[in-house]
Amino acid sequence: MLPKILVVDDTNANLVAMRRLLARSGAAIFEATSGNEALALCLDHQFALILLDVNMPDMDGFEVAALLSETEQLHETPIIFVTAAYADDMSRLKGYRSGAVDYVAKPINDVILQSKVRIFLELYAARTELEQAMTSLSERNQQLTVEIAERKKVEALVRHQASHDALTGLPNRMLFHDRLNVAINHAQRHHGRFSLACIDIDGFKNVNDEHGHPAGDALLQEISKRLLEELRRNDTVARIGGDEFALILEEIDDPKLALQLGQSLCKALAEPYTLTVGESTIDVRVGASIGVAQYLESDRQDADEQLIRSADRAMYEAKHAGKNCCVLADISTAAT
């Protein structure tokens, strides 16, 4: 698209002369015979340059330039005053204050006018190219911002999938071991205590055998919800495989409190479940055998495995005791 030049002069002969001089400028020439007409054209077009006659009736060139300089989208448009009063320093100063960037004296010197016009058209082309480059860069930056955000979402999703059980959304065995080691390190630094519970669902195989694996999956999801509802936000509920769950119970100093919590969980998990499988609903009941072991300060490298063995042993004691109950690990045998 050709750059545009606006010539403003109330004398037709001057307009014709300007048209002739600018014929080979490489710009589209627009003409206005008054200040009001010039302002109207400026609102509809973006001009690379305005050649503005100073002496016009109604609204002179100074007034037109001042109005243009006060308009947000027009104030950067360069204006060259065309005037016979070039030698008048006060007029020149007034013009510069009004927004003029240069003067051309009448009678017009063809070479000087064409040279000035060429310079301003080159500046306009350079500015346009820069604006386009900046726009392109801004668009690319926005695109990169979106791409980075999307990549972070995908990476977060991949990390979540790698550390969480796909069926229940709970932490998986890997994340459980990470959090257990964090809890042990924290307890060692602050001489604190916490408890670990291992849970095995009693009667889960019967549900799978009688109603199918979709029912078993739905049951595991409901069990996960109940465990989350019963525990605090800072506790960890993990599915470590099949129908086995593990709990990290933070900041429980009294083993009796851990036992009471385990007994409460047994009661909650033994409540009936209504499962939705396809278009059918199924009512089932299961129980839970829970073993609880309290972390005792230890310098052993395998403190985490030691604690898991203690809770696991207590869980099997719960099964042998008739199931659907909670057993607290014997401290005297916890280190064996």
The rounded distance, in Å, linking the Cα atoms of 266 and 270 is 6
Predicted local confidence at residue 335, as pLDDT: 42
The rounded distance, in Å, linking the Cα atoms of 139 and 147 is 12
Secondary-structure class of domain 4-131 per CATH? alpha beta
Sign of CA dihedral 308, 310, 316, 318: negative
Domain with CATH 3.40.50.2300 in the chain: 4-131
Domain with CATH 3.30.70.270 in the chain: 173-333
Annotated catalytic residue: which of 243, 283, 312, 330? Answer: 243
| Phi and psi angles of residue 35, each rounded to the nearest 5 degrees, phi first | -65, -40
pLDDT value at 85 more than 80: no
The rounded distance, in Å, linking the Cα atoms of 273 and 282 is 8
Condensed to tens digits (0 to 9), the pLDDT of residues 123-153 reads 889 988 998 999 999 999 999 999 999 999 9
- 243 has catalytic annotation: yes
Condensed to tens digits (0 to 9), the pLDDT of residues 186-209 reads 998 888 889 999 999 999 999 999
Read off the pLDDT band of 334 (50, 70, 90): very low
The rounded distance, in Å, linking the Cα atoms of 112 and 75 is 25
Gyration radius of the chain over CA positions: 42
> SS in 3 state form for the chain?
CCCEEEEECCCHHHHHHHHHHCCCCCCEEEEECCHHHHHHHHHHCCCCEEEEECCCCCCCHHHHHHHHHCCCCCCCCCEEEEECCCCCHHHHHHHHHHCCCEEEECCCCHHHHHHHHHHHHHHHHHHHHHHHHHHHHHHHHHHHHHHHHHHHHHHHHHHHHHHECCCCCCECHHHHHHHHHHHHHHHHHHCCCCEEEEEEEECHHHHHHHHCHHHHHHHHHHHHHHHHHHCCCCCEEEEEECCEEEEEECCCCCHHHHHHHHHHHHHHHCCCEEEEECCEEEEECCEEEEEEEECCCCCCCCHHHHHHHHHHHHHHHHHHCCCCCEEECCHHHCCC
The encoded tokens of residue 34 equal 């008054």
pLDDT value at 117 more than 80: yes
Q: How far is CA 171 from CA 165, 179, 180, 197, 304, in A?
A: 6, 9, 12, 15, 17
Tell the CATH superfamily of the 173-333 domain: Reverse transcriptase/Diguanylate cyclase domain (3.30.70.270)
Question: What is the number of other CB atoms lying within 10 angstroms of the CB of residue 77?
Answer: 20
Predicted local confidence at residue 267, as pLDDT: 96
Predicted local confidence at residue 270, as pLDDT: 96
CB 66 within 8 A of CB 59: no
Residue of 329, 270, 266 lying closest to 296 (CA atoms): 329
- Least confident among 99-103, 199-203, 211-215, 237-241: 99-103
